[in-house]
Structure 1
């Protein structure tokens, strides 16, 4: 799969003499016209692609389908195709490691417009995460404004906005 970008968080100055934890994840790109299925998270005031960490030994496609279904209630997931890989190095604030190396495998897919009932994890519900079909350009504009003005923004907004811009280019 094509590497789309390797991003280093500003706090990660070097990888030399750092203990690194690697996390594999997937991101789903479901588009219908100019609308895309995203997750809006109230806590961070941002839009993100559905997705998350793979379980140990889990197949990437199966993990992508699981995450998409759990977070959005997506149904009839089909026509899955690789879009690319986004790598990032972020600070890790838990014992045992200095840096997290997140590798996100991104896939396009088709799904039914109507969503079923999501089965989110407790922290996702607590953070106010909700699935929403939205015009991709509105989502990019919103995230760009959040990055410029909000102190609530999370570490993933740069990845998400970068990916949304690439996706928009591919559909325009």
Structure 2
């Protein structure tokens, strides 16, 4: 899959003499007209694509479907196609490694606009995550405002905003 961008978090100055672990993840791109299925996270005041980490030896498409269903309750997932990958290096705040190297594999898909019940993990519920259909241009503006003005922003907002802009340019 084509790498769309490689991003280094500002706190990652070098990889030399650093312990790095790689985490593979998937992201889902479901669009209806100019609306896209996103997760809103109250804690970070941002919109993000549904997705998350792959389990050990999990097939990428199966992992994408699993995450999409868990986080949004999506049904009737069809027409899955690769879109591109986003690679990032970011600080890791646990003692076992210095840096996380995350590769997010993004796939377009078609889903039923009506969502079922999600099965979010406890930290996702605690962070106030909820799935919703949003106008992609409104989501981009919202994320840009959060990046410019909020002290609450998380480390994923730059990735998510880059991807939303790329999706809008290529698919809308």
Q: TM-score w.r.t. structure 1 length?
A: 0.99
5+ unaligned residues in a row in structure 2: which ranges?
Answer: none
Aligned-residue CA RMSD (Å): 0.4
Using the alignment, how far apart are the partners of 1:18 and 1:127 within structure 2? Answer: 30
Determine helix, strand or coil for the equivalent of 1:167.
helix
Residues 101-150 of structure 1: per-residue CA shift (max 9 Å, x gap):
00000000000000000000000001000001000000000000000000
5+ unaligned residues in a row in structure 1: which ranges?
Answer: none
The alignment status of 1:109 with 2:105, answered yes or no, reads no
Determine helix, strand or coil for the equivalent of 2:161.
helix
The alignment status of 1:72 with 2:72, answered yes or no, reads yes
Shift of 1:171: 2.5
Task: Indicate if the aligned counterparts of 1:70 and 1:120 stay in contact, CA closer than 8 A.
Answer: yes
**1:22-41 to 2 correspondences below 5 Å:** 22-41=22-41
Shift of 1:79: 0.3
The alignment status of 1:166 with 2:166, answered yes or no, reads yes
**1:21-170 to 2 correspondences below 5 Å:** 21-170=21-170
Using the alignment, how far apart are the partners of 1:120 and 1:76 within structure 2? Answer: 19
Using the alignment, how far apart are the partners of 1:74 and 1:22 within structure 2? Answer: 28
Using the alignment, how far apart are the partners of 1:18 and 1:74 within structure 2? Answer: 39
Using the alignment, how far apart are the partners of 1:78 and 1:163 within structure 2? Answer: 21
Determine helix, strand or coil for the equivalent of 1:38.
strand
Using the alignment, how far apart are the partners of 1:149 and 1:128 within structure 2? Answer: 20
Determine helix, strand or coil for the equivalent of 2:169.
helix
Residues 78-115 of structure 1: per-residue CA shift (max 9 Å, x gap):
10000001000000010110000000000000000000
Using the alignment, how far apart are the partners of 2:79 and 2:92 within structure 1? Answer: 35
Runs of 4+ in 1 over 6 A off after TM superposition: none
Using the alignment, how far apart are the partners of 1:51 and 1:144 within structure 2? Answer: 21
